[in-house]
Amino acid sequence: MTKPVLTEKDYKDAAQMLDAEVAAIRAVAEVESAGSGFLQSGEPKILFERHVFSKRTGGLFDASHPNISNSVWGGYGAAANQHKRLQEAAALNREAALMSASWGKFQIMGFNYALCGFNTLQDFVNAMYRSEREHLLAFVNYIKNVSLDDELREHRWADFARKYNGPDYRKNRYDIRLKGAYNKFTDLTG
């Protein structure tokens, strides 16, 4: 099931809203989700973070469900299994589970729903199922609300990655990957 994907106009509109380059926004999408916001099943790409679920539930399920609730990050498994993991966690605590996944083309954590411009967590989740344009608008709102637009605009990739991906961003080389993706998209348009 295919979902609406971003158009060049969508990227240009977002770039204007952030006063940034299209290549910078495309770079984030490329690094966060390999460029696609949806799985072939039509479900949004997610990454269920067991350490976030553990924290949000006070470790209540760590002993009984260590694969989905664990103080240690990791244990992700295949991308195709992330929704199954989310469903298992949702059966234990739905709100904590939805907040413990990163969602869509820009992989924004569910607990950031208000910073993305949504009144409720469910509104955010519904938007993530609708279209990549919804993913992009959530990203734009998030970037503005956490004041990351300067880092994006100025290509300060390490600063951007630290705030967007967390203090351990270097482990996954987010800053280096962002710079490489930006250069790739700049070369395509330049």
User: In whole angstroms, what is the distance from residue 116 CA to residue 190 CA?
Assistant: 31
Task: Report the half-sphere exposure of 86 (CA within 13 A, side-chain side).
Answer: 22
- Chunk the chain into consecutive blocks of 10 residues (it has 190) and report each block's average pLDDT, rounded to whole numbers: 85 97 97 92 96 98 97 91 97 98 98 98 98 98 98 97 94 95 83
Instruction: State the pLDDT at residue 22.
Output: 97
User: In whole angstroms, what is the distance from residue 171 CA to residue 69 CA?
Assistant: 22
Instruction: State the pLDDT at residue 189.
Output: 60
List the chain domain ranges: 8-41+107-189, 46-103
Enter the pTM of the model: 0.95
Instruction: State the pLDDT at residue 4.
Output: 78
Amino acid identity, position 99: M
Report the SS3 class of residue 70: coil
User: In whole angstroms, what is the distance from residue 159 CA to residue 77 CA?
Assistant: 28
CB atoms within 10 A of CB 66: 14
User: In whole angstroms, what is the distance from residue 22 CA to residue 182 CA?
Assistant: 9
User: In whole angstroms, what is the distance from residue 154 CA to residue 94 CA?
Assistant: 38
Burial 4-39 (b: 16+ CB within 10 A, else e): eebeeebbebbbebbebbbbbbbbbbbbbbeebbbb
